[in-house]
A and B are shown apart, each in its own frame.
Chain A
Amino acid sequence: MLSAVGTLTTMGLVLGGLLGTAARYLAVEENPIEAELQSLLPGSQCGQCGYVGCAQAAAALARGEALVTLCPPGGKAIAEALAAKLGIKVDLSAVADDGPRLAVVAEEICTGCCRCSKVCSTDAIVGAAKQIHNVIREACTGCGACIERCPTEAMSLVPLPVTLQHWIWPMPANV
């Protein structure tokens, strides 16, 4: 009986030591939640949250330095997803969410200066110098980075138009 106890104790000590060493030397540097948080963020690197890009914002969220409501283009949906991922409760009534939006060019004001296309993080604005620019709807994330850059105020954000493919039945009135 003593030998059995001895064997198990030795095994326990040796394996425990091994695990302890492995935990120290093979530790994952990055907080794993960071990558998960980053996958939830829009990834358009628009910088409206005050961080350089979505990766930095995710890191700040993981450290608990930023609020889950930091992402303006993400709106309520992303704030909700981030809160669920971090396991915290959050009051979303203060989050302004006008739904998905889209940048448009007022063609009569556009001078074709190319400044907006340079800041667009998804290359959604097309147009050459002194040619009227245009926005590719499918690529625009509605982050609004181009709005500030336009010297003639030709860019604006409009709500994504509702089409037959996007329309959804309203929730029945409560009984």
Chain B
Amino acid sequence: MGYFERIFKEPRWGVHPDDHKRPAADAALRLLPPPARVYMPLSQHVGGAARPIVLVGQQVHKGQLLAEAQGNISAPIHAPVSGKVSSIGEVTAPHASGLGFGAIVIDSDFADRWIDTDPVADPFSLSPEEITRRTAAAGVVGLGGATFPSALKFSLGKRLAVGTLIVNGGECEPYLSSDDRIMRDSADQVVDGVRIVMHAIGARVALVGIEDNKPEAIAAMRKAAAAYPEVRIRPVPSRYPMGSDKQLIQALTGKEVPADARAAEVGVLVHNVSTCAAVHQAVRLGRPLVERIVTVNGGAVARPGNIFVPLGTQVDELLAFCGLNEAPSRLILGGPMMGTLLAHGRVPLVKGVSGIIAFDAREAAVPRAGPCVRCGSCTKACPMGLLPLEMAAHIRSGDLAGAVDFSLTDCIACGCCAYVCPSHIPLVQYFSHAKGELAARERTRLRSEAAKRLAEARLIRLERESREKAEAAARRQAERKAAKALAAASASQAQAVVT
């Protein structure tokens, strides 16, 4: 990129951390041998948890449906290895809270026998609805980390007549290179997936945004897309958070997504490159989403790189496969900027995990937080144009409504503000706390509204019951009276006969 572009085209928001992507990104993809036991969580997506349909003790093949989608927003779960279902219960979730959630545990038989798949030779002969149905059945969710069921986005794009598909190959988080690897190694699959998604949503063009720190991926994708002029590869400046959908849309189309709107409302839809590859697998090969590429990186890892892993594998097992120089001082699922802090490695890998980062003591050192000096660095870094220092000050003093007035709800929790803060204030934690607290208040409000409705319904029921009781009593009384009158009449008749 020339000097001119550097000054005029470089976005004014965001930060530019050391990316630490190499040498892990350059190491060849390795395969993890099937683990002895996998823990397949029922909730690996946004929305309702899947409902198990297998029984303990049942033999399953790889790719067999374990749990079906439940509710409007949900996704099914499939077996990542062949073997026997050994239990269905609670495991520790890959979540900062360390709480548990439901999972299906499978003991592998190491045979890796696939189910009979239903490949499609020409997906473009299928109707868009059929592609959406197949994608939903394969349990494909957004693999960039948002884990929103992809099929729902297809129907949304189709309904809103989205003209442009944005393919997110930004991968702006430092240390991660799983999208880079899939574009380098399987560019043909990615491009095929992109074209299938375009067919499903009826888009005319696809813009593939790839950060310019991945020249190999750009070259591979250009080569794979050479035959398809509708798929355009667009290098974008390396700037965190370029991989966030609103920022990428703005960089590629110049359109800004309004604060309370979805991307589809400005005529674009964003899908991650790995999601497109999963759609290729699901539609063309009929294979559900049961494996993915995960980056293992960080100072504590002896042989960092990208590994092809069955979902449900424990983090510790993957770390052992890559070797550890020392016990990790901090374990993060996802990238260092937005990833999930883990208390320990005995948690399963889920669909949305693009990397595991094991920091050594030097990398994990957290400087002590000081008071805000109102330097304004955070406002310059914020990609959403917010005032993080003001929001944090309001939250600290317990004034959540004040923080919302400063557009707390537009915060994407990218962490740029905390990254640049010279006082090392944990700004994102303030925002996460406040968002959680606001959500809890909203839940309480909904709950009390529901309670009011129930209380009113009960009063109506009680009234109706007492009315019905009174009516029934009146009816019975009338019946008795009629019976008595009838008896009296027949008695007098009998008497008349006798006399």
Contact = CB atoms under 8 A, between A and B. Distances in A.
Interface of A: 42-45, 77, 100, 121-124, 138-139, 141, 162-164, 166-172, 174-175
A164 B97 contact: yes
Interface stretch (B50-58, B304-312, B437-445): B437-445
B455 A122 contact: yes
A121 B426 CA distance: 44
Contacts, number: 79
Contact of A138 (B93, B369, B450): B450
A3 to B, nearest CB: 53
Given A164-B101, A171-B430, A43 B96 contact: no
B436 A42 contact: no
Contact of B455 (A44, A138, A162, A163): A44
Contacts of A163: 99
Contacts of B457: 123
B99 A168 contact: no
B451 interface: yes
Interface residue SS majority, chain B: helix
Interface string B354-370: 00000000000000111
Given A77-B441, A164-B97, A122 B430 contact: no
12 contacts: A42-B451, A43-B449, A122-B454, A122-B455, A139-B454, A164-B43, A168-B433, A171-B429, A171-B433, A172-B426, A175-B369, A175-B425
Contacts of B433: 168-172
B400 to A, nearest CB: 11
Contacts of A121: 454-455, 458
B452 A43 contact: yes
B325 interface: no
A50 to B, nearest CB: 18
Contacts of B96: 169
B198 to A, nearest CB: 35
B28 to A, nearest CB: 36
B371 A175 contact: yes
Contacts of A42: 448, 451-452
Interface string B403-436: 0000000000000000000000110011011001
Nearest to B100: A164
Nearest to B459: A45
Contacts of A124: 454
B83 to A, nearest CB: 27
A46 to B, nearest CB: 9
B340 to A, nearest CB: 11
Interface in B61-94: 93
A141 B426 CA distance: 35
A44 B451 contact: yes
A122 B451 contact: yes
Given A77-B441, A122-B454, A172-B433, 5 more contacts: A121-B455, A122-B451, A124-B454, A168-B432, A175-B370
A136 B448 CA distance: 15
B283 to A, nearest CB: 31
A143 to B, nearest CB: 9
Interface string B319-352: 0000000000000000000000000000000000
Contacts of A122: 451, 454-455, 458
A42 B396 CA distance: 28
- Nearest 8 Cβ contacts at the A-B interface: A168-B436, A43-B452, A122-B454, A169-B432, A167-B97, A169-B433, A175-B369, A172-B426
A173 to B, nearest CB: 8
B20 interface: no
Nearest to B461: A123
A45 B101 CA distance: 35
B466 to A, nearest CB: 13
B222 interface: no
Interface centre among A42, A162, A168 (most CB of B within 10 A): A168
A123 B101 contact: no
B95 interface: yes
Given A164-B97, A167-B97, A141 B451 contact: yes
